[in-house]
Homo-oligomer: A and B are copies of this chain.
Amino acid sequence: MITFSKKEQKIIKQLDELKQKSGSHSPSIITIADKIPEINVLVDACFLSNPYATDVFLEYFKRELIDTNKLRDFLEFYPSQNEIIAELLGSHLKIDHRNILVGNGATELIQAILHNFTSGKVLVNIPTFSPYYEFVKNKEKIIYNTLTEENNFKLDISSYIKLVKKEKPDTVVIINPNNPDGSYITYNEMKHLIEEIKDVENIIIDESFIHFAYEDTTFELKTVTGLIGQYPHLIVLKSMSKDFGIAGIRAGYVVMDKRKVEKLLQNGYLWNSNGLAEYFFRLYARKDFLKEYEKARVKYIQETHTFFSALSHIPGLKVIPSMANFALVKLKDDTKASILAQKLLISQGIHVRNCDDKIGLVGEYIRIASRTRQENKLIIKALRNIFDKNYEYKREKEISIV
């Protein structure tokens, strides 16, 4: 049984107000810090991002922009146009740049695709990332395919193919690994699936978390981006926020049919990258940066694996198997997700995602992101403190609440 002091109850009220303003998305850490200074956030485990990749980016940023005084050029002047940045990416991805549209984060691209190419039914697996249904203009045309806990939220490929053939959507959305559960479809399964549904007009594969997935101990990246030549209806979306740890920069891209890219460029999306996004994309096309990044990626995957393993040993939690950098955690013993999330934030300084607004999730769930090794330890300690009666760590007492 989780209880709150009077001081905590007052803070909960303020949090509820902030949450209401943010709609179906958590308020940002900056917003929370700004509006409720009483909360001392130690770990933002709401936030799906590789902190070691941020380190790598910041080292380059410091060395190449701050120490050289070149930063001004990237803030003062207009960044390059979409096609110029797409060319950079094209040479790195070994894909014709006319197949690439660069975005102000992946969200802009989700919006662009749903608003411009979707006119019929949209098939969305739930639980999912909410813009995939929120941004659909004709919401009555959305078909929800519910992923089940019994199957650890993994998509059942053969029944999915049957569903597509029966419903004939013009748009399907598959996030791989999926958000918020981390379930993963292997490269071979995905290739088979795409082949079977290749006539669907818009086959959106969102690979925003793909850098965290692996199929063997080489940790080799398995993206379907290269299949664009073979399957012209394929739309591979990529946020750079998560794997590269740069959510504040807003960088993403989509690989899709040239005609789709051209249609969007014809009346918009010209200058949608900011100077730091352009700098990032220039790094992303450089071998020296990617070599450093690769070390940060593998280190983080390994630590995440250790973290998930520790999580799964905490009584009261069921951890859904994940190939992403977060775990969906089912709460047993009638613990409410909203209560646990508030308690963790206010008394332990740990910010996790309460999933009780995620459609398609039956039961009480929170989503916990893997952070640095040290932060992951704090998360484990905080959860043990709440769930493990024999555990002695009492973080609550160490944090002063005004």
Alpha-carbon gap, A273 to B248, bound state (A): 8
Q: Are B21 and A49 in contact (CB under 8 A)?
A: no
List residues of A (220-263) whose CB comes within 8 Å of B's CBs.
Answer: 241, 245-250
Q: Are A79 and B274 in contact (CB under 8 A)?
A: no
Residues on B with C-beta less than 8 A from A134 are 267
| Cross-chain contact of A81 among B22, B49, B80, B274 (Cβ < 8 A) | B22
Q: Kindly specify which of A51-59, A196-204, A393-401 makes contact with the partner chain.
A: A51-59
Residues on B with C-beta less than 8 A from A274 are 104, 248-250, 274, 276-277
Alpha-carbon gap, A267 to B245, bound state (A): 26
Alpha-carbon gap, A109 to B114, bound state (A): 18
Q: Are A137 and B267 in contact (CB under 8 A)?
A: yes
| Cross-chain contact of A75 among B27, B57, B73, B137 (Cβ < 8 A) | B57
Residues on B with C-beta less than 8 A from A81 are 21-23, 25, 27-28, 31
- Quick check: is A207 within 8 A (CB to CB) of the other chain? no
Give how many copies assemble into the complex: 2
Q: Are B267 and A77 in contact (CB under 8 A)?
A: no
Q: Are B267 and A73 in contact (CB under 8 A)?
A: no
- Quick check: is A78 within 8 A (CB to CB) of the other chain? yes
Q: Are B107 and A104 in contact (CB under 8 A)?
A: no
Residues on B with C-beta less than 8 A from A137 are 267
Alpha-carbon gap, A221 to B31, bound state (A): 31
Interface centre among A83, A108, A245 (most CB of B within 10 A): A108
Alpha-carbon gap, A154 to B268, bound state (A): 28
Residues on B with C-beta less than 8 A from A270 are 23, 25, 107, 131
Q: Smallest CB–CB gap between A262 and chain B, Å?
A: 12
Closest to A32 in B: B80
- Quick check: is A72 within 8 A (CB to CB) of the other chain? yes
- Quick check: is A140 within 8 A (CB to CB) of the other chain? no
Q: Are B247 and A28 in contact (CB under 8 A)?
A: no
- Quick check: is A135 within 8 A (CB to CB) of the other chain? yes
Tell me whether A278 and B30 are in contact in the complex, defined as CB-CB below 8 angstroms, given that A54-B72, A66-B66, A271-B105 are known contacts: yes
Alpha-carbon gap, A261 to B285, bound state (A): 37
- Quick check: is A272 within 8 A (CB to CB) of the other chain? yes
Q: Are B135 and A268 in contact (CB under 8 A)?
A: yes
Q: Are B29 and A77 in contact (CB under 8 A)?
A: yes
Q: Are A80 and B249 in contact (CB under 8 A)?
A: no
Closest to A35 in B: B84
Residues on B with C-beta less than 8 A from A278 are 30
Closest to A270 in B: B107
Alpha-carbon gap, A249 to B71, bound state (A): 11
Alpha-carbon gap, A311 to B261, bound state (A): 43
Residues on B with C-beta less than 8 A from A47 are 77-78
Q: Are B21 and A84 in contact (CB under 8 A)?
A: yes
Alpha-carbon gap, A247 to B76, bound state (A): 5
List residues of A (18-69) whose CB comes within 8 Å of B's CBs.
Answer: 21-23, 25, 27-31, 44, 47, 49, 51, 54, 57-58, 61, 66
Beyond contacts A29-B73, A30-B278, A76-B247: 10 other A-B pairs, Cβ-Cβ < 8 A, are A22-B81, A25-B270, A28-B84, A47-B78, A51-B76, A57-B75, A58-B75, A104-B274, A105-B271, A248-B275
